[in-house]
Amino acid sequence: MNKLFLWLVGLLNPFWRKFGADPKAIKLILAAKLKMDDRSGLAMGGQRQQKKKGMEYLTYFFVGLFGLFLVFLFSVVEDTASAVGLGFCIWVCYIGLMLITEMSENLFDQRDLYVLLSRPINDYTLSISRILHITVFASKFGLCLGLPSFVYLGVTEGPWSAIAYFLVSVVAIVIIMTGTLVFYLVLLRKVPANRLKKIVGYFQIIAAFVFFTAYQLPSLLGDLDAIEGFILVDTAVGFSFPGLWLGGLFKAVTTTSLGWMAYAQAALALLAAGFGSWFYLKQSAGYSERLLSLKHAGSVDAHEEITATRKPGGRSPVRDRLARWFTRPNQERVSFNFHWNVMMRDMSFKQRTYPTLVYLPVILAITVFRDVITGEEDFSVGSGTMLMILYFLMWIVIIPLGQTKISENYRAAWIFDATPNAYPFRIVYGQVLAVIGMFYLPMAVLVYTSVFALQGLDFLPDIALASGGTLLFSFLYNLVDKGHPFSRAKDDSKFSNFGPFLLISFLGGMLSVGHWALRSLPYVIPVAAVVVWILLLAWVMVLRRKS
């Protein structure tokens, strides 16, 4: 696959040369990067490289399944070009989200700067090699997403439609790539280096939220029959989103009977791809210099005066108060403070955690308000929905808790092995309590207050059972998902906490369903709540024992 891609890149050598880049250097850099991608890093304390191919293929398999779902659009929407356009809208969201949250970091990667910049390599060579590296990943995802539609169109519409779909897919990748990455390049040029990482980090979090919410909007459409007659391409609506321009391009190359608007949308798609590429290259001037300044941003130089304004740490009244309330002044508090500090300051933790925390409220809100939005029913919150909201809090703890095992700085966890760490349970206790304090407590106050407001005090036993269950399963999750804090590499851990996550999801789901089923029986919920809280307190006592 890599060789094929390098060959394809080689075909465009005259093009790279025309833009002032060195095609030979581009090929060498890309070959090295792709080779490194195929080899995973070492886990903390590990001596051998771990195979990650299996997980990579599994990811592609799931993306392929999603691509299969896109074929469904052709049976729902009669107009093929509109179905293609809708499919590409999903492409733009999906690959765009992936680029923003995962791959765009490669654009700012400074690890190889000294190796590359000490060689005769100019800005264009560096920036083109970076975007091509990212393109490999986007293309692999695009291939998995598009293959089912490609086959479907080949069988139902003929080979030319399939070929056209493939060509439009290439244009789609170019638009998504340049559209996303140009924004980052502009940021790199305009924003001071010491603020850039923070801005990009928060942008990624917000973008993930926006994309995910957009992703859920189709579920608000209600009856699928309503979109059967949708014609989006070759109409005014077709100008609204790049995915639909691509639908216009598909129509332009597959049919002869089309209006001027389809031609205009096709032209827009080609223009977007062309202009995006040109603008990306134009923004590449000064790229290496900006990356270098990014590398040195925030570092102390010998001649520099130490000021108190730089990246503050240390003081946190909320942390200190919660630590005093919930932990003893031993390893419990050390662990609580340590986890709190890292969670508060590590941007990569926030990038991994915050978007996933946002997904669930979005799904929850859509589930609760769907009927109102689609106009099918009036707004009402039954006890079932209330229970769902109560148990949803479990994810508010478990998702960040899982992320406290992962870090870009995972090698720093050697300190847990090199020291006696004689009370590992206290470390675990402090870890869970820090997550509870930072994520669960604020949400719990909000949710429980709302539930009381809507349902009254009758719901108190339910809250007691759900909250006890949530906290118990949080401790249980940390028991099952072993490992030192922040000790796993991000790349090697994508599925490592999948097993514990599934287990707790299953058990938590069982508890919530059981709660709902047994709710009508007298005394069952209060008794169950007492049992769960006794179990929880017993487990906490075990963790906090003296030796």
Footprint on this chain of another protein (rule: CB under 8 A):
45, 47-48, 298-302, 306-308, 310-315, 329-331, 333-335, 337-338, 341-342, 345-346, 409, 411-412, 414-423, 486
For residue 292, the minimal CB distance to another protein (Å) is: 16
Specify whether the CB–CB gap between 187 and 195 falls below 8 A: no
C-alpha span between 228 and 222 (Å, rounded): 12
List CB contacts of 197: < 8 A, sequence separation 6 or more: 108, 294, 297, 347
Q: Which is nearer to another protein, 14 or 420 (CB)?
A: 420
Specify whether the CB–CB gap between 233 and 85 falls below 8 A: yes
214-223 LR contacts (CB < 8 Å, sep 24+): 214/93, 215/93, 215/94, 216/362, 216/363, 216/366, 219/366, 219/370, 220/366, 220/370, 220/373, 220/374, 221/374, 222/374, 222/375, 222/376
Q: Which is nearer to another protein, 420 or 522 (CB)?
A: 420
Tell me how far CA of residue 197 lies from CA of 114, 247, 341, in angstroms.
20, 36, 18
Dihedral sign computed on CA atoms, order 88, 187, 127, 494: negative
Q: Which is nearer to another protein, 257 or 547 (CB)?
A: 547
Tokens, residue 29 = 């850099």
For residue 399, the minimal CB distance to another protein (Å) is: 20
DSSP helix/strand/coil, 301: coil
Specify whether the CB–CB gap between 52 and 491 falls below 8 A: yes
Q: Which is nearer to another protein, 118 or 547 (CB)?
A: 547
Q: Which is nearer to another protein, 306 or 521 (CB)?
A: 306
C-alpha span between 5 and 23 (Å, rounded): 14
Q: Which is nearer to another protein, 42 or 76 (CB)?
A: 42
CB-count exposure of residue 142 (10 Å: 0-12, 13-18, 19+): buried
- The DSSP secondary structure of 324-365, one letter per residue, reads HHH--TTHHHHHHHHHHHHHHH-HHHHHHHHHHHHHHHHHHH
Q: Which is nearer to another protein, 298 or 499 (CB)?
A: 298
For residue 308, the minimal CB distance to another protein (Å) is: 5
Q: Which is nearer to another protein, 380 or 419 (CB)?
A: 419
For residue 285, the minimal CB distance to another protein (Å) is: 29
C-alpha span between 418 and 405 (Å, rounded): 18
User: What are the backbone angles phi and psi of residue 406, rounded to the nearest 5°?
Assistant: -115, 145
Look up residue 487 and give its DSSP letter: -
For residue 112, the minimal CB distance to another protein (Å) is: 18
Location of structure tokens 């002032």? 20
Q: Which is nearer to another protein, 80 or 327 (CB)?
A: 327
Exposure string of 271-289, with b = 16+ CB inside 10 Å and e = fewer, is ebbeebbeebbebbbebbe
For residue 26, the minimal CB distance to another protein (Å) is: 26
Q: Which is nearer to another protein, 300 or 453 (CB)?
A: 300
Please name the amino acid found at residue 522. P
Q: 441-455 and 383-403 helices cross at what angle (nearest 10)?
A: 180
For residue 53, the minimal CB distance to another protein (Å) is: 20
For residue 45, the minimal CB distance to another protein (Å) is: 7
Q: Which is nearer to another protein, 110 or 421 (CB)?
A: 421
For residue 339, the minimal CB distance to another protein (Å) is: 10
